[in-house]
Amino acid sequence: MSELPPYVTRPAEAVHLQPFLCANTQMYGFYLRANRNAIQQRLVDPILNAPAGGATNYQAISDLVLMSFAMANHCTSTMPPDSAIGWVTEGSWTLWVPLVTVKREMGIDVAQRFVFYPAYITVDNSWSVAAGREIYGFPKGYGPVNLPKKGDPVTHLTTSTMVMETFASSSQGQVRPLVDVVQTEAGTIGGEVWRDLEDAVSAIAHLLTGNGGHLIVPGLNFAKNLIQLAREEEVPSVFLKQFRDAADGTRACYQSILEAGSFVDKFNGGGLLTGTYRATLCNYDSHPILTDLGLKAGPQRLEFPFWVNFDFTVKQGTEVWKAQTNG
């Protein structure tokens, strides 16, 4: 039995019991070519490696990052009693960074496991913000997410959130555009259709490792890990979960590196989008996306546009590393 105290459920509780089922999720994905060194120095090392003081070693494997726009049409807890409360929808925009965990063997960095890091994410559901941040460490912000309905032409997708354009005592937070994706040229023929998740994973893996990939020497554990992920239809993610201390806000009263898997329960279809796409990403002091990705201002060409529809479950998380406190 756990030694942790029982969670106190309050009126108007926004953080419900995990795991979470997200059924009939329509997702549109686009790969953006960024700068791997900038990603490692700004998003990976200071957030996932430095806090653990050498106990973790996550490395970016590609210049490519994934931008996804998704509408989960039926989200609910799978654990009683919260599974009987009801369900909500969730629109989201996420910037996913593909990583590997690395172990030093005989002077060589050897890849062990594959994970995605959601470096930026906005959602249009306040319950999702609270649960995502408190349970897993998703860096979720709140804001509108606009994407086409299933079956409609995929021509324009946007998201906005509260930002500080510049850091100054006179600055006021404003809801501003964050990402704007437009189709610049319509396709003339149908895109490749994926029969199942294996087709989708195979196509994306080929893109990451064969087109801009910088895969660290894969170890035997890494090969086993990829086989296991494919067999279990899992998409693993890594997070920094932390809470500011009430007495000293410069310190964390809780801090951990946590991993959790999203498991595909049902693959309802997918394939490549036709046409060409570009993205305009805004750069604010509070949201320095272009700087974090090592990109210059201006429209960014997007690669490998695709769509998928699936049901998935975000399972329990596992602490990879946890800070020791005196409390």
CATH number at residue 144: 2.40.400.10
Q: How far apart are CA 196 and CA 203, in angstroms?
A: 11
Distance CA 28, CA 37 (A): 26
> What is the C-alpha to C-alpha distance for residues 301 and 304, in angstroms, rounded to an integer?
10
In a domain, 255, yes or no: yes
Kindly state the percentage of the chain with pLDDT values over 90. 74
Does residue 6 lie within any of the structural domains?
A: no
Task: Give domain status of residue 108, yes or no.
Answer: yes
Contact 123, 68 (CB under 8 A): no
Q: Report which DSSP code applies to 6.
A: P
Which helix (H) or strand (E) element contains residue 302? Answer: strand 300-322
The residue type at 233: E
Identify whether the C-beta of residue 307 lies closer than 8 Å to the C-beta of residue 267: no
Residue 263 within a domain = yes
At 132-175, the pLDDT tens digits run: 999 999 999 999 999 998 889 999 999 999 999 999 999 999 99
Whole-number pLDDT of residue 237: 95
Which tens digit of pLDDT belongs to each residue from 21-76? 999 999 999 999 999 999 999 999 999 999 999 999 999 988 999 999 999 999 99
What integer is the mean pLDDT of 10-30? Answer: 96
Residue 159 domain-assigned? no
Say if 281 falls within a structural domain: no
Residue 10 is assigned to a structural domain of this protein: no
Distance, in Å, from the CA atom of 214 to the CA atom of 62, rounded to the nearest integer, reads 5
The answer to whether position 140 is within a domain reads: yes
pLDDT of residue 177: 97
Q: CA distances (Å), 39 to each of 228, 290, 304, in order?
A: 27, 10, 20
| pTM score | 0.91
The domain in which residue 82 lies consists of 21-149+185-274+297-321
Indicate the number of domains in the chain. 1
Confidence of residue 217 (pLDDT cuts 50, 70, 90): very low
DSSP states of 142-211 as a string? E--EE-PPTTS---EEEEEEEE-SS-STT---EEEEEEEEEEEE--SSPPPEESSHHHHHHHHHHHHHHS
Is the pLDDT score of 219 beyond 70?
A: no
